[in-house]
Structure 1
Amino acid sequence: MTASAADNTSARRYGSGETLSVQNAHLGEVLMVREVVLQSDKKVNAGSAIGAAVGYGAAREVKGDYRSAAKVAGGVIGGVAGTAVQNGFRKRRGVEVYVRDLESGKVIAIVQADDLPIRAGDKVFLTGKGSKTRVVPIEGQSR
C-alpha cells in the first residue's frame, strides 16, 4: 500500500480514462499560491480493516488457552496500526492556486498536490475538464 496508489490530486498523475483523449488547455497567470492540507474524505477506513484482518490471522497461530485472547488482541493491534498507516497517507501537502485565465480573464482556484513548482507570476497551462483540471507550469520560464 502506497500513498501514491490512490492519489488523484497530483497534476502529474492521470487516470487511464484520461489518456488518448483531448484535454482543454488555456494559458493562465498565477495570482497567488496558498499551502493547504489534502485530507481524504473517504468514510471507509481500509487501513483499519486490513490491519485487523492481518492481526487476527497472525494470532490464529497461537496455541492453547490464550488463543481467543490473542485473536482479539491481534485484531485490535492490527486495526490500530492499520489506521495509523492510513492516516499518514490521508494527509498530504497541497496548494490552492489562484489563476487568471488569459483568454477569458476569469479567475479560478484549483487545489492540487504540492508536487510541481508553482509561484505567483508564473505562466501556466490550465489543462483538463471540469473537476479534472490541473495547473501545469510552463517549463523553461525565467524566474
Structure 2
Amino acid sequence: MRALILSLALASLLPLTASAADNTSARRYGTSETLSVQNARLGEVLMVRSVDIKSDKRLNAGSAIGAVVGYASVRDVNKNYRNASRIAAGTIGGVAGTAIQNGLSSRRGVEVYVRDVESGKVFAIVQADDLLIRTGDKVFLTGKGSKTRVVPIEGQH
C-alpha cells in the first residue's frame, strides 16, 4: 500500500516537470529575462512550418520515478529472488518512466523563417506553436541569442 501511495504521488509530479522545462513559448519568460532590456528587431515572416519539439534530456524525472516505483513494487517476491526482482523492476520502471516523460514533454512547435528588415539576414527560429504566425506577417524578433522569439505584431489578422 505504501508503494502505491508513493508511486501515485511521484507520478503526479510528471506533468509539472514536463511543463516546468518548457522555455520554448513566446508567451513565457524566465525570471532572468524579466525586467531586463530585450533586443527587438522588425522582421517579415518568409515561411512557417510545423515541427515536433521533444525533450533532448536523456535522464529525467520520469526515469527516477519509474525506477523507484518499479523497485518498491516487488515486496511480495520470494526472499531468494527479491534483490534480482527489484533490480529488474527498477530498470523496467526507469525505462517506462522515461517513455512516459518523453511523451508528456513532446509538443507541437513551429519553425519560423524571418528576414530582419534592417539587415536583410534570414533567421530560423523554433518555438512553441502558441501564437498565430503566418507567412508575410510583420513580426518582432525579441530577445538575445538562443532566447530569441518571434512575436507577431497585433492587429494584422
TM-score range, shorter chain: 0.7 to 0.9
Q: Which residue pairs with 2:6 in the alignment? A: none
CA separation in 2, counterparts of 1:114 and 1:56? 38
1:87 has 2:87 as partner: no
- 2: CA distance between counterparts of 1:54 and 1:20? 42
C-alpha distance in 2 between matches for 1:75 and 1:44: 14
More strand by share: 1
Q: 2:41 aligns with which of 12, 26, 30?
A: 26
Deviation at 1:72, TM superposition (A): 3.5
1:74 matched residue in structure 2: 89
Q: Does the CA-based 8 Å contact 2:77-2:85 persist in structure 1?
A: no
The question of whether the paired residues in 2 share the 8 Å contact of 1:124 and 1:135 is answered with: yes
Q: Residue in 1 aligned with 2:127? A: 112
Superposed displacement of residue 64, structure 1: 5.1
Q: Which structure has more helix as a fraction of its residues?
A: 2
Shift of 1:23: 0.6
- Aligned counterpart, 2:19: 4
State the percentage of identical aligned residues: 75
User: Could you tell me whether the CA contact under 8 Å between 2:59 and 2:98 is conserved in 1?
Assistant: no
Equivalent-residue separation in structure 1 for 2:56 and 2:71 (angstroms):
27
Deviations 1:43-99 (A, max 9, x none): 32442232111221243x437536445523532342232022112034322211011
Contact 1:62 1:70 survives alignment (8 Å):
no
8 Å CA contact 1:51–1:80 kept in 2: the answer is yes
What letter corresponds to residue 86 of structure 1 in structure 2?
A: Q
Aligned-residue offset at 1:104: 2.2
Runs of 4+ in 1 over 4 A off after TM superposition: none
CA distance in 1, matches of 2:56, 2:72: 29
Conserved 8 A contact 1:36-1:95 = yes
Q: Where does the alignment leave 5 or more consecutive residues of structure 2 unmatched?
A: 1-13
Q: Which residue of 1 aligns with 2:118?
A: 103
Deviations 1:89-121, CA, capped at 9 Å, x for gaps = 343222110111122222211111112111101
Paired position in structure 2 for 1:57? 72
TM-score of the superposition, structure 2-length normalised?
A: 0.77
Q: Which runs of 5+ in 1 are unaligned?
A: none
Q: How many residues align?
A: 141
1:134 aligns with 2:149: yes
